Structure 1
């Protein structure tokens, strides 16, 4: 309180708002001060001497965000040990859980989880305990979901598997504002590598988000192009990019798997582009599209069926496959344009059929 009373500018404003009991305005001012203050000592003074005087009078999720921001900023500035910040967050949740409510308690717990991850402490049990709470929340502030999925993404980035990191990062992106993403290039790189190296065959979501734009005009722009080529099942472009660039270790380690994935996605895209009435494809057509030797086509189709990416029947005598289903996926702009063309063709055929029917059955129509 001494800092506020003796301070100038922003700190003087805090004291005035407190004296007038303008709690909402005080909350907004505190958020601004915490976001812009570089002096860790001053921030700790706010958390220790000023915030406790009105914390019960303001929105509890806002209080949790202010306290978390102060403690994480002080840890980042080396003015506070991470262990000390974690202990304070845990104590706040334990001692004030009844007042805080589920959302604010969860936010503080996930802030503690993020700090634990930074210093190598276990957090899996903490994340597992938070999952049912997150699933039960409705009409909640997005900040709670942002903090939870931020912690999950950091955990799976460190410990895997890559597909879980990818899913958590997608959820994180859906709740994070642009200014909350501190390093979009790193996030775009990590998500691209996870999509390529993980057991994922539907990663159109990342292709429709703005995050890949962070790679443009950087040394890693080719990685975004590789992901787009993989999503389209463009084997030739995919191979060209692989040959022209030094691959990150994670792709080198799973190169055979990634090559199998591009072949599977090429097959899926071939089916997507083929009209449903013509989905009896011979091995030769599949071989040409996937760039595999014809003696490997049957294995590829069986692999796709085992992964539930396609369904159908293989005719070994006729060297063909009759496909009845292909797994739905999020479409990129190129695939949507193809779908529009197919719908236009269907519309034209329906109109032609209607005109013929009209001419030949005048009395009925």
Structure 2
């Protein structure tokens, strides 16, 4: 097929050739030949980088095969990133219900288990995630919600209620400690986000109370968050506080946006009060 396309000498044949090559890469992956699949993917990425105005179906096919390659290697973070890119070039309405459910399930697991994935807002905002609702794996949707808001109490409750379903997923069972660390970090970020910008010096005891960790473990949690650049700040062991100067931007859910709106309203009230105060003092300043 590729030889026939090249023989036509038509313009823009690189797109259909790349599409065919991705099908070949997919066949190699199905046969368990990861090395040959990787070779096609590397060549495909180089071709894509040198092309402009590409048909979305070509992009979609490339990212789908890349995602399946990483899935076969249990590289959760890479699968997650490329599967979302696949969806960016694909109409969800064109996919079958069973396909959408399988993909939503895989995306959810990879979000939970992927290294350095601490923002679930993009996934929760995507319509494909709603495919989990009303199914036997609906519990996964609510676990994602708990992680996104750093809600430890809800997470523990869901683990208790859906213990049978959770234990049926070997990857989740094998990474229980990793999941706890991740939701503790997300709980920390939620604590920081919920405080006004002028009140970002937080006692370690408050973090310990919310995360149910010891002060020593809270210090480790903060160092982990600093090391992966989720936050910037200074830990003061003498005072037992942490001053946070920056938090990694996140895709916000509706409750978080409402909280942000309330804080903006409060800020506007303070600005208006300051304005009235300055206007009241201005005559005296001019007179003096």
TM-score, normalised by the number of residues in structure 1: 0.72
> Is residue 205–residue 330 contact of structure 1 (8 Å, CA) maintained in 2?
yes
Give 1:125's aligned residue: 39
> Is residue 152–residue 211 contact of structure 2 (8 Å, CA) maintained in 1?
yes
Change (3 A) 1:311 1:339: same
Question: 3-state SS of the aligned residue for 1:276?
Answer: coil
Distance 1:232 1:97 in 2: 55
Select which of 239, 242, 251 maps to 2:172.
Answer: 251
Distance 2:65 2:145 in 1: 28
> Is residue 205–residue 215 contact of structure 2 (8 Å, CA) maintained in 1?
yes
User: CA shift at 1:90, angstroms?
Assistant: 4.8
Give 1:304's aligned residue: 225
Distance 2:94 2:45 in 1: 22
User: CA shift at 1:214, angstroms?
Assistant: 0.1
Deviations 1:299-333 (A, max 9, x none): 11111111111111111111111111111111122
User: CA shift at 1:203, angstroms?
Assistant: 2.8
Distance 1:255 1:324 in 2: 31
Give ranges in structure 2 of 5+ residues lacking alignment: none
User: CA shift at 1:176, angstroms?
Assistant: 0.8
Distance 1:181 1:155 in 2: 20
Q: Which region of structure 1 is more displaced relative to structure 2, 124-133 or 261-270?
A: 124-133
> Is residue 188–residue 212 contact of structure 1 (8 Å, CA) maintained in 2?
yes
Quick check: 1:103 aligned with 2:15? yes
Give 1:357's aligned residue: 278
> Is residue 18–residue 44 contact of structure 2 (8 Å, CA) maintained in 1?
yes
Question: 3-state SS of the aligned residue for 2:229?
Answer: coil
> Is residue 93–residue 108 contact of structure 1 (8 Å, CA) maintained in 2?
no
Quick check: 1:187 aligned with 2:108? no
User: CA shift at 1:260, angstroms?
Assistant: 0.3
Distance 1:107 1:217 in 2: 36
> Is residue 120–residue 147 contact of structure 2 (8 Å, CA) maintained in 1?
no
Deviations 1:126-163 (A, max 9, x none): 11111133234333221111111111111111113100
Select which of 50, 58, 72 maps to 1:158.
Answer: 72
Select which of 215, 230, 240 maps to 2:147.
Answer: 230
Select which of 135, 155, 169 maps to 2:49.
Answer: 135
Distance 2:5 2:76 in 1: 31
Distance 1:290 1:168 in 2: 32
Give 2:113's aligned residue: 197
Change (3 A) 1:239 1:109: same
Select which of 85, 99, 103 maps to 1:171.
Answer: 85
Deviations 1:215-257 (A, max 9, x none): 0001111101101110111111011111221311111111100
Question: 3-state SS of the aligned residue for 1:314?
Answer: strand
Deviations 1:285-312 (A, max 9, x none): 1112222123311111111111111111
Question: 3-state SS of the aligned residue for 2:220?
Answer: helix
User: CA shift at 1:179, angstroms?
Assistant: 4.1
Question: What is the RMSD of the two structures over their aligned residues, measured on CA atoms?
Answer: 1.8
Question: 3-state SS of the aligned residue for 2:20?
Answer: helix
> Is residue 6–residue 13 contact of structure 2 (8 Å, CA) maintained in 1?
no
Q: Give the total of aligned pairs.
A: 276
Distance 2:109 2:79 in 1: 10
Select which of 325, 328, 345 maps to 2:249.
Answer: 328
User: CA shift at 1:93, angstroms?
Assistant: 5.4
Change (3 A) 1:92 1:275: farther
User: CA shift at 1:345, angstroms?
Assistant: 1.2
Distance 2:17 2:276 in 1: 66
Runs of 4+ residues deviating >6 angstroms: none
